[in-house]
A and B are shown apart, each in its own frame.
Chain A
């Protein structure tokens, strides 16, 4: 999985932004969402992302895995990530 061709990610103090340059649509991201997108941008697989975030945020692995999966599905549905 990677960011779609026309999508750019930038970290911000509040989390981050995803900019879809074809439609010029901007999405703001919470710190947690930005952490997920950063992992995608760095080339991590969905299977690698949840454990890394569970460790970083000291959260329950099962909950994180479920939330990451749902968030990645939302990104895919909006065409912001692609396989």
Chain B
């Protein structure tokens, strides 16, 4: 038994990260999707199209999905899509800003047996949280997390560092534990989407990242056995160079059914409105060998700011 699976050899993806809508009630400074109020794509999948994609994923035995956004709970058919996934035996994680986690909605998520709900909490105080998560309400998010815990839904807390909140690293992990989270995750904030315009407020110095990951390493040890603390220390370029030779068995579906090669590249390798999952998966595996992909990654080394164009999709 080996603890690796080359995506080349698999009949279908193992993990699908589906951005089900670009609409969001918040307008976060660092949002890589440029989501916000009124930012739904004009061609997002309708109910029939979305459920057809769910059915195809289930028919191909995709074992693990996540629904994100925008704010996925704003999708008009959110719960119907959740039920369609979990009733077929696949595991589902919901990635939300936590503003719609009422006791009633948490009870529904529990009844539907979602694997976990990931809540973005980009500050240990109302001031830092509000600065990052524009239009966001700190206390409402905390209450949403408490409602999840009360409903016995596993909670994952996600934290995006910026120069104005990174000093709260230790405190935010403690807060996640106090709230009853099962796990805490962080990484580096990407220079793309909304972050391009707000970079002067967000950019973290390398030396601060070093201290940040040292803090998280200490917290990982402190909470071992009680709460899982994990983080991705690698920079974007390092990650992409690795993925070029070891693509994850992961498809990223956009709200309109287009499929991206990986979030941090502009390449689109399929369209689930017109192509079968099998065809998209075959093209995904081929597309990683397209010379434009390696060239883009090489150019990123010379110009890290090239990530500002990730939303100008290129079909491969």
- Name A's B-contacting residues (CB within 8 A): 6, 8, 10, 12-14, 17-19, 21, 24-30, 33, 71, 74
In the complex, the answer to whether B4 meets A28 with C-beta atoms within 8 Å is: yes
A6, A10, A14, A27 interface centre (most CB from chain B within 10 Å): A10
In whole Å, how far is B86's beta carbon from the nearest beta carbon of chain A?
13
B61 beta carbon closer than 8 Å to chain A: yes
Q: Per a CB cutoff under 8 Å, which of B9, B63, B64, B115 touches A12?
A: B9
Report the bound CA distance from A24 to B89 in whole Å. Answer: 17
Which residues on A sit within 8 Å (CB–CB) of B89?
Answer: 8
In the complex, the answer to whether A21 meets B3 with C-beta atoms within 8 Å is: no
Which residues on A sit within 8 Å (CB–CB) of B9?
Answer: 12-14, 28
Report the bound CA distance from A33 to B120 in whole Å. Answer: 39
Q: Per a CB cutoff under 8 Å, which of A8, A13, A29 touches B63?
A: A8
Which residues on B sit within 8 Å (CB–CB) of A14?
Answer: 9
B2 beta carbon closer than 8 Å to chain A: yes
By size class, the interface of chain B is: 10 to 19
Which residues on A sit within 8 Å (CB–CB) of B15?
Answer: 19, 24
In the complex, the answer to whether A26 meets B115 with C-beta atoms within 8 Å is: no
In whole Å, how far is A3's beta carbon from the nearest beta carbon of chain B?
11
Which residues on B sit within 8 Å (CB–CB) of A18?
Answer: 1
Which residues on B sit within 8 Å (CB–CB) of A74?
Answer: 1
B90 beta carbon closer than 8 Å to chain A: yes
Q: A12-B11, A26-B14 are in contact. Are A21 and B2 (CB under 8 A)?
A: no
Which residues on A sit within 8 Å (CB–CB) of B150?
Answer: none
In whole Å, how far is B242's beta carbon from the nearest beta carbon of chain A?
15
Interface residues of B in 1-57 (CB under 8 A from A): 1-5, 9-12, 14-15
Report the bound CA distance from A24 to B16 in whole Å. Answer: 12
Report the bound CA distance from A44 to B90 in whole Å. Answer: 21
Report the bound CA distance from A2 to B12 in whole Å. Answer: 24
User: Which 10 A-B pairs have CB atoms at the shortest separation, nearest pair first?
Assistant: A8-B63, A26-B5, A28-B2, A21-B64, A28-B5, A21-B91, A10-B61, A19-B63, A27-B1, A17-B5
